[in-house]
Structure 1
């Protein structure tokens, strides 16, 4: 045993407050301080994989400016791709569904709306073998300049 329970608790508390990159480097520094067996010990008390600590040690020894001053934690480009990028002609299919159900303000070409619900638009796209969610429909409505239309009460005097 290297550290007391009190020090271990403080280390764990500090480790949990760091970003992913800083956690890796903090664990690496602690492991290097301890020397032989330090990586396994720190991995056990901080709940980090040994390979993560080894990567942190490698980063610290590399000492190159881009890795030490790097702002991003993860590489760009991750995550799920949008339906627009997955389906090439999604916008055209969407406009085809709305073609006979679009109305607008005759005084302003910018103001247009549809009498279809989001779910009805999803069903119309599904008939064209295009599967999207209502969230995608909302984004397409906004992208194409459609606005919500609400019935307004008129006061009688």
Structure 2
């Protein structure tokens, strides 16, 4: 009874519905513009972090002998960690997974993009003038923090291509295409298998496919990323990040240096 009374006293969650609906309309418009111009539209997100070790994983698996595992993910027993940072090309139906072994930071997110661009993007889209990235608003690519924008600006200067970011509104990350076009299929490919080593994980992810032609490429970024980094003091005054007139908190571009 006490719990019920406490629940009734809670204030309803505030949602800026007009902004949310306007952002969905804006994303649809941007996707159409980039598709007509032949520029890439990439959906980006980080999948759930997993621990390497003899830990239970949901799903069924055919084996020749009984497997015994820990029923909880005790971090002290873990042999490492894997952080799958993923890109999904909406036009080509291809997933690109960069597996990190350190921390999910903005630097890691930009390194993932860097690997995708030099390994695949610049060859698939040689005439691209801009890249549209669809992502949620939290985590390593937070819409509120300037650290991601700083690393994004460095990346744009390096590749010489404009990078446009469109964040999905809060509590709407499940509408990001990668959430239902890539993540479930990776989960299905890995279900029930014990993540005993990094090689096992990458082999499983690389086997992800669907009847509609989904393909997945995997790369390991074995680099230690620093946590607690701060934005440079001069970045906000000197940055070349251009915020859109429509919902600038969720829409902006990193313009490369001339």
Give the structure-2-normalised TM-score: 0.18
Would you tell me which structure has more strand in proportion to its own residues?
2
Of Structure 1 and Structure 2, which has the larger fraction of its residues in helix?
Answer: 1
Decide which structure has the larger Cα Rg and report it: 1
Q: Which has the higher contact order (CA 8 A, sep 6+)?
A: 2
